[in-house]
Structure 1
Amino acid sequence: MCRLLGYAGPAIALERIITRPSHSLLKQSQHAHEAKLAVNGDGFGMAWYTGQDAEPGLYRDVLPAWSDGNLPSLCRVIRAPLFLAHVRAGTTGGTSRSNCHPFVSGRWSFAHNGQIAGFSELRRALEADLPDHLYALRQGTTDSEILFLTMLDEGLDDDPIGAVARAIARIERMQGGGAPNRITCVLADGSRIIGVRHSGDGHAPTLYVSAGVLDHGGRALASEPLDGCAANWTALPEGGVVILSADAMEISSLPGLADRAAA
């Protein structure tokens, strides 16, 4: 399983979230506490919004986060009011830059931790179900990218929360039962970050939201508390959705899916 995070608030250097905290994403890439695998070394990436361009900047590489000498320097000099980052422990698809998160389309960026059950058998049907203009965007071979493209097809631009729920429901209809999906993901559109937890068995990967504003006035969400102190963070419940912006946080449930996830 992977580790991921998002930040929204005053513009800060990316290092203040990604590399400097005591249990930063960089630390989690080698020493994750709440994942099946402690090491997430199959690549990493980050997407950031400066407010000057609708589309995010994007940096991804196949190197483990701890061995890329560019990462500390980039995180030190890039400042942004909103960004996502991800370290990968691959479950589907090989180790390649096109399989590293975040995935980006237009103003949207997306990172995922989890898996679509039975993806190898379902992949062809999922790809065939995409319209041509979205299928043409597919660069890698992961279930995560397919999930993102399916969300775009379900109307991410106009109804983000509904699109996430409809995309998951669409995949589950095509599966027709069987092993459960486990989906924890974060999306951003330049003005807000959306975090989601959903599974078919109550075991979606973890996602925490900072209980209050951080010392620089922003909020973050992450797979594990970045300061290593659970009391400073709120665990997003199964079937939950959190929306973070520069000055607000809202937690709700995925429409039509939360009840099933809790059952």
Structure 2
Amino acid sequence: MCRHVAYLGPEEPLGRYLVTPPHGLYRQSWAPRRQQYGTVNADGFGVGWYAAGDPLPARYRRAGPIWADLSFADLARVARTSCLLAAVRDATLSGADGEAAAAPFASGTWLFSHNGAVPGWPDSLAPLAGTLSATDLLSLEARNDSAFVWALVLARLRAGDDEGQALADTVREVAEAAPGSRLNLLLTSGDSITATAWGDTLWYLTTPGHGTVVASEPYDDDPLWREVPDRTLLVASRTDVTLTPLKEPGETSAPSPTLESTRAGGPPSSKEPRT
């Protein structure tokens, strides 16, 4: 379900990463190449981006398919940014939330997207509702699994967790409550990209002078694209990508991780585990 992409690097038009590539997010809305669940992502789309001098992102979201929105083509051609997060949606279940259900979700400087599904929603995650405040629950942007997962992540971020810890702990908690969940999460605050690969495809690309892209699937055939192993946390800057294994539910200690750091323009290199 869904495809998403995040970019961090030199200022570029939105279309450079969403529309222009031969297999960009625009085309992935009707012809994804690596999507394992669902075939057409026509249940809404959205893009969030950061303008120079403003730490709060702008968002453009719609309930229909991206190819039917002629205004988006103009926006993508002229709006420029050094960081974006965008998604096209294949709804898990039908609903009446319209564009409110389309990623990216937002709060403060953060943008968030969920590629996947939670089996048994909403019953499977009902026990986790008690971990959120009444304000958190009443502030949900939409009544779907992705918006609820975002609320869980956001509660951790507001409590002081860093982005990686917030995503990793949320994935583990949701996977334990709803086994078989697909939880590819994507988060940015404008100066980094954090993501999880859990049950679906995730790729990244770093190139000299062009920053870092993290996406559900490659938007072209550049040989520098690298696939992220399943059950992995990714943290990216403009020049580096670090991969760390994620714990399975019920696992008390993670295997000794080898953190793979990729510098733009260079091959992956192994690092000793951090302690």
TM-score by length of 1: 0.87
Please give the alpha-carbon distance, in whole angstroms, between the structure 2 residues aligned to 1:197 and 1:10. 26
- Per the alignment, in what secondary structure is the counterpart of residue 207 of structure 2? coil
- Per the alignment, in what secondary structure is the counterpart of residue 86 of structure 1? strand
Please give the alpha-carbon distance, in whole angstroms, between the structure 2 residues aligned to 1:236 and 1:172. 19
Quote how far apart the aligned CAs of 1:120 are: 2.6
Structure 2 equivalent of residue 22 of structure 1: 22
Q: Give the 5 Å matches for 1:197-236.
A: 197-198=197-198, 204-210=199-205, 212-213=206-207, 217-227=210-220, 229=221, 231-236=223-228
Pick aligned residue for 1:244 from 236, 252, 260: 236
With 6-15 and 108-117 compared, the bigger mean Cα shift is at 108-117
Do 1:197 and 1:237's aligned partners in 2 also have CA atoms closer than 8 Å? Answer: yes
2:232 partner amino acid: G
Greater relative contact order structure (CA < 8 Å, 6+ sep): 1
With 127-136 and 6-15 compared, the bigger mean Cα shift is at 127-136
Do 1:92 and 1:141's aligned partners in 2 also have CA atoms closer than 8 Å? Answer: no
Q: Give the 5 Å matches for 1:61-80.
A: 61-80=62-81
- Per the alignment, in what secondary structure is the counterpart of residue 196 of structure 2? strand
2:8 partner amino acid: A
- Per the alignment, in what secondary structure is the counterpart of residue 23 of structure 1? coil
Structure 2 equivalent of residue 201 of structure 1: none
1:213 partner amino acid: T
- Structure 2 residues without counterparts, runs of 5 or longer: 256-275
Measured against aligned partners, the alpha-carbon deviations of 1:152-176 in whole angstroms (never above 9, x if no partner) come to: 222365322111122223334444x
Identical positions, percent? 30
Matched, 1:257 2:225: no
TM-score by length of 2: 0.83
Do 1:6 and 1:85's aligned partners in 2 also have CA atoms closer than 8 Å? Answer: yes
Q: Give the 5 Å matches for 1:132-151.
A: 132-151=134-153
Q: Give the 5 Å matches for 1:109-128.
A: 109-128=111-130
2:129 partner amino acid: E
- Per the alignment, in what secondary structure is the counterpart of residue 113 of structure 1? strand
Residues 251, 172 of structure 1: CA spacing in aligned structure 2 closer, same or farther, 3 A cutoff? closer
1:239 partner amino acid: R
- Structure 1 residues without counterparts, runs of 5 or longer: 199-203
Do 2:49 and 2:58's aligned partners in 1 also have CA atoms closer than 8 Å? Answer: yes
Structure 1 equivalent of residue 31 of structure 2: 31
Please give the alpha-carbon distance, in whole angstroms, between the structure 2 residues aligned to 1:174 and 1:39. 28
Pick aligned residue for 2:165 from 162, 168, 178: 162
TM-align CA RMSD: 2.3
